[in-house]
């Protein structure tokens, strides 16, 4: 089985506890994040860190109440859930239908929520901004990633943001950390590859499409993966 197929099977197995999708909005959000993979290791991420990241993401995407945002690889819709609470109109896609089913339950007013491959997202419906968080490392190569970026650019009137990118310069440090904290890491994660990117890949894309590009620091306090990732935001000139 290919790495992409194995990851797809893993994400599709993740199911929500129905009683945790109603009631207190913070508990709902944390359940959505858990399903999106933030329960893998570590002591957990404080709620305030997620709220700070949400505010910073909206700032970098240049959106506010009444604006519209689309997320590629939205999973259960956790990020969109916070944005919707801030008055942003949201839409998203993910290749795991099971996660999209959960997103539909907590985002009944979404513009669109559908399952499909990231390099084939529909671009007819436009948004003020389009972003992705923690998804690009699951892509097989830069050719696939470039096709996704093109779709994101076509779907956005404004900013395009890509967060949670594994840094090629930090690859060995990442592997050393994982091996130190997860017994039999290489055996457990065999054929579950993650792609590491050079910043130059995104700089070249920005140059080719006349975009302004920045690489902002977006610390998520308590997140073990932070030292090994970077973020990229692009804007039309």
**47-78 pLDDT per residue, tens:** 889 999 999 999 999 999 999 999 999 999 99
Q: Is the pLDDT reported for residue 1 higher than 50?
A: no
Helical (H) or strand (E) element with 237: none
Q: Is the pLDDT reported for residue 41 higher than 50?
A: no
Higher pLDDT, 13 or 125: 125
**Contact in structure between 84 and 68 (CB atoms under 8 Å):** no
Q: Is the pLDDT reported for residue 141 higher than 80?
A: yes
**Which has the minimum average pLDDT: 98-102, 184-188, 216-220, 226-230?**
184-188
- d(CA 82, CA 73) in angstroms, rounded, equals 16
Number of other CB atoms surrounding residue 201 within 10 Å: 17
Burial of 119-157, coded b for 16+ CB within 10 Å and e otherwise, reads: bebebeeebbbbbbbbbbbbbeebebbbebbebbbebbe
Q: How does the average pLDDT of the chain come out, rounded?
A: 90
What pLDDT, on the 0 to 100 scale, is given for residue 34? 83
pTM of the predicted structure, to 2 decimals:
0.91
Q: What is the pLDDT of residues 171-210, one digit of tens each?
A: 999 999 999 988 888 888 887 788 999 999 999 999 999 9
Instruction: Please give the structure tokens belonging to residue 131.
Output: 């972003």
Q: Shortest CA distance to 80 belongs to which of 61, 96, 165?
A: 61
pLDDT band of 102, cuts 50, 70, 90? very high
What pLDDT, on the 0 to 100 scale, is given for residue 4? 52
Domains in the chain: ranges and CATH: 3-236 (3.40.50.150)
Q: What is the pLDDT of residues 8-22, one digit of tens each?
A: 555 555 566 667 788
pLDDT band of 37, cuts 50, 70, 90? confident
Instruction: Please give the structure tokens belonging to residue 148.
Output: 């996704």
Higher pLDDT, 137 or 40: 137
Q: Is the pLDDT reported for residue 232 higher than 80?
A: yes
């Amino acid at each position: 089985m290919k790495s992409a197929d194995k990851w797809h099977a893993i994400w599709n197995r993740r199911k929500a506890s129905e009683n945790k999708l109603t009631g207190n909005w913070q508990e709902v959000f944390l359940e959505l994040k858990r399903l999106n993979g933030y329960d893998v290791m570590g002591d957990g991420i404080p709620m305030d860190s997620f709220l700070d990241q949400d505010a910073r993401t909206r700032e970098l995407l240049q959106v506010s109440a009444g604006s519209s945002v689309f997320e590629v690889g939205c999973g259960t819709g956790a990020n969109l859930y916070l944005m919707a609470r801030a008055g942003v109109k949201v839409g998203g896609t993910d290749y795991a239908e099971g996660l999209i089913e959960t997103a539909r339950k907590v985002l009944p007013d979404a513009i669109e929520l559908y399952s499909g491959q990231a390099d084939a997202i529909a671009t007819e419906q436009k948004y003020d901004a389009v972003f992705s968080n923690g998804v690009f490392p699951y892509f097989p190569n830069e050719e696939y990633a470039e096709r996704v970026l093109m779709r994101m650019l076509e779907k956005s009137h404004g900013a395009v943001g890509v967060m949670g990118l594994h840094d090629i310069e930090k690859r060995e440090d990442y592997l050393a950390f994982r091996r130190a904290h997860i017994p039999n890491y290489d055996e457990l994660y065999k054929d579950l590859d993650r792609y590491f990117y050079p910043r130059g890949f995104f700089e070249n894309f920005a140059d080719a499409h006349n975009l302004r590009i920045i690489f902002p620091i977006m610390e998520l306090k308590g997140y073990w993966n932070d030292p090994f990732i970077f973020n990229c935001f692009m804007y039309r000139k």
